[in-house]
Amino acid sequence: MADIIQLLPEYLANQIAAGEVVQRPASAVKELLENAVDAGATQVQLIIKDAGKQLVQVVDNGAGMSPTDARMSLERHATSKIRTTDDLFRIRTLGFRGEALASIAAVAQVELRTKPRDQDTGTLLLVEGSQITSQQPVACPDGTSISVKNLFFNVPARRNFLKSNAVEMRHILDEFQHIALANPQIAFSLFQNDLEVFNLPAGKLGQRIVSLLGNGYKEQLAACEEVTPFIAVRGFIGKPESAKKSRGDQFFFVNNRFIRSAYLNHAVLTAYEGLLPKDTFPFYVLFLELDPKSIDINVHPTKTEIKFEDEKTVYAIVRAAVKQSLGLHNMAPSLDFEGDVNFAPIQPLRLSGDQKSSFDAANFRPDALASAASAAAQPTPREPRSNSGSTGRSDAYERQVPPRPTDQAKRELEEFYRSLSELNVPDVEREATAIGVPVPSAAALEAAQAAAEMPAVPQPPVTPVVQTTPPTPQLPLRDASAGVGSKVLQLHQQYLLVPVKSGLMLIDQAAARERILYEQYAQELQRETGTSQTLLFPRTVTFSPQDFAVLREVEEALRALGFRFTDFGKHTIAVEGIPADVPARDEKELLEGLIEQFRNSAGPVKLERREQMARALARRVASTAATARLSDTEMTALVDRLFACQVPGYTPDGRRTLVMLEMNQLQSFFTS
């Protein structure tokens, strides 16, 4: 039998390795930026053309390479950072395996210019598909400049799998952001198609966060630090009120290397428990420093996943550090069970010297202060009232301190507030807007009130008209002959009970509304005739660079749905109009939620962009009124519109909108 096992050719082995290391232009950006940081650069410039498909160039002023090192750097597994097995457990640099340049050179045309600081001339290398076509001396500045041109030129199948320029540029911005945040002591700049996107001077971490993510973070940063013999946690967290609907502003760095860890993210979210609105995510940039021997960074080719030797301890320390920072910056609620906050004095008190010395602001209690006030107002045998001005101060003091309420007054006030809390006033405007029923204007309400005060005049019966969009036929399954029993009922402001001939139908009103809105938006996107309601005053919304790139990616679909906006500065838009049936609330929150759902739309089937946007907006709008109280007319309209849909039984992502209970099932509940 002939031998069939043989070594792969060098160029083919490099292309296989490139499939793991270089998946898209952002992969090349990551590897080249990490090499520049490891070279000790203080200034790094990134130049992008055609979202990295045409050119990715990184220029640094680092140590540079000799002619021999420049040629060796393009060989597989050639590295200056590992000599023995023990070195694998002391890794503190970003690149160490020697795969990056060799993998990039296997699938692109590479131009390498480099010069050490102690030499007069540098080296120029031209590489195409792992083959060095030219090497010659050249005049160039200190440092290294690597240009990656025509990525995947020799692997057309891989090039065809690249996404649109907006998507690829978003991934490039992610990698640039990670490196820039991890190294605030280095100046970074980014140029896209000859336009400057970022120019980040060297500075402190807080300054880098603000210059990279926007001035909106300036007032939202809270320092976080916890140092133990095992691990040190440093960085910044965001105040709870600055939480966003998107997940893009969470960063973990372990020994200055960006990582992704759902386990540590859960630790941070646990520390914020009870402080965040529903479905929002806090901002944080946290750096973890620990012994390299206690982690394994060689888990994945991209090195964004690592393993901890004692992950439970890391979890506990990260959670404690964030919780401590929230407490130090007065962002975590604290309870004083001894104080009576309902009867604190309205105005500050002017205390005498002895009283000031005994006053402790940290342990302030209104009842103790009231006792001090009464003691100050009445003279004691030990402190006789003087005749030189102190009487005036005492009288003013008595006028400023209100009399302490009696126990009966306290009980009456508590009952009053308890009765207020039991009132449930529905938000009629929000609920009606969400279901599509028009809300009467103030003039219409006044006219109705005036008409009610006039004597009644017999009028012919008028059939009420419910405005629905589009008009839909009556539900065919409802038992219209059942009299009062056929009325639609609402259960816990979440479900609708609909009697039908065969039994009982239970409808999830949020899921039903999502199905209705989805089909409406899908039709509008197909016709590109989405109606828009113009805002009285345009509202500016500022995004992070990544979210703004996603916004550009889905701009066409948003405009087709009815959004109207214009550019208003760097990563900022002015929202002038929103879809007609969307409640006019917080436009920033709405757009952030749409971007987050579009970015993280999970599923085995890749959806068309407009399909994704229709699903995201339908779920977003439906969730705003998930537990709304509906009138009889609104419930009937919701049921009718649901059964006018093409697929009334399921939401766009496959969740059920209704459940049927047959009569025999209902009877079995009482007979079994």
pLDDT digits (tens, 9 = 90+) for 616-631: 788 877 877 667 788 8
| Average pLDDT, integer, range 361-382 | 44
pTM here?
0.62
Judge if the upstream peptide bond of residue 240 is cis by omega within 30 degrees of 0.
no
Instruction: Kindly state the tokens that stand for 631.
Output: 């009138």
**Region 376-397 average pLDDT:** 43
Name the band, by pLDDT with cuts 50, 70 and 90, for residue 97.
Answer: low
For strands 489-491 and 307-308, give the pairing. Answer: unpaired
Instruction: Pick one of 3.30.70.660, 3.40.50.880, 3.30.1370.100, 1.10.599.10 as the CATH number of 506-658.
Output: 3.30.1370.100
Residue 186 · residue 58 · CB < 8 Å: no
Q: Using 50, 70 and 90 to split pLDDT, how confident is the model at 403?
A: low
Nearest to 317 by CA among 222, 223, 232: 232
Task: Give yes or no for residue 371 having a pLDDT over 60.
Answer: no
Residue 59 DSSP class: E
| Per-residue pLDDT, 394 | 42
CB-based contacts of 516, cutoff 8 Å, min separation 6: 638, 641, 642, 645
**557 vs 611: CA distance, rounded Å:** 9
What's the CATH architecture for 10-200?
2-Layer Sandwich (3.30)
Using the predicted structure, report yes or no on whether residue 396 has a pLDDT greater than 90: no
The pLDDT assigned to 209 comes to: 92
- Please write the tens of the pLDDT for every residue from 76-92: 777 777 767 766 666 77
* pLDDT at residue 377, rounded to an integer: 44
pLDDT at 433 over 60: no
Identify the pLDDT of residue 30.
Answer: 92
Both tokens of residue 600?
Answer: 């993280």
Q: How far apart are CA 647 and CA 229, in angstroms?
A: 60
pLDDT for 578-625, tens place per residue? 887 777 666 777 787 777 767 665 443 345 667 777 887 888 778 776
Task: Of 250, 296, 255, give the one whose Cα is nearest residue 271.
Answer: 250
Compare 535 and 383 and report the one with higher pLDDT.
535
Is the pLDDT at 379 greater than 90? The verdict is no
User: What type of residue is 482?
Assistant: A
What pLDDT does residue 366 have?
43
Percent over 90 (pLDDT), the chain: 25
Q: Within a 10 A sphere around the Cβ of 352, how many other Cβ atoms?
A: 15
Where are the extended beta strands (E) located within 291-339? 295-296, 307-308
Q: Which residues of 241-268 are buried (b: 16+ CB within 10 A; e: fewer)?
A: ebbbbbebbbbbbbbbbbbebeebbebb
Given this model, what pLDDT does residue 622 score?
A: 80
pLDDT at 12 over 50: yes
The correct CATH number of 205-328 out of 2.40.50.180, 3.40.50.620, 3.30.70.370, 3.30.230.10 is 3.30.230.10
pLDDT of residue 487: 78
Distance CA 662, CA 505 (A): 9
Residue 158, pLDDT above cutoff 50:
yes
* pLDDT tier for residue 473 given thresholds of 50, 70 and 90: very low
What value does the mean pLDDT of the chain take? 76
Extents of the domains making up the chain:
10-200, 205-328, 506-658
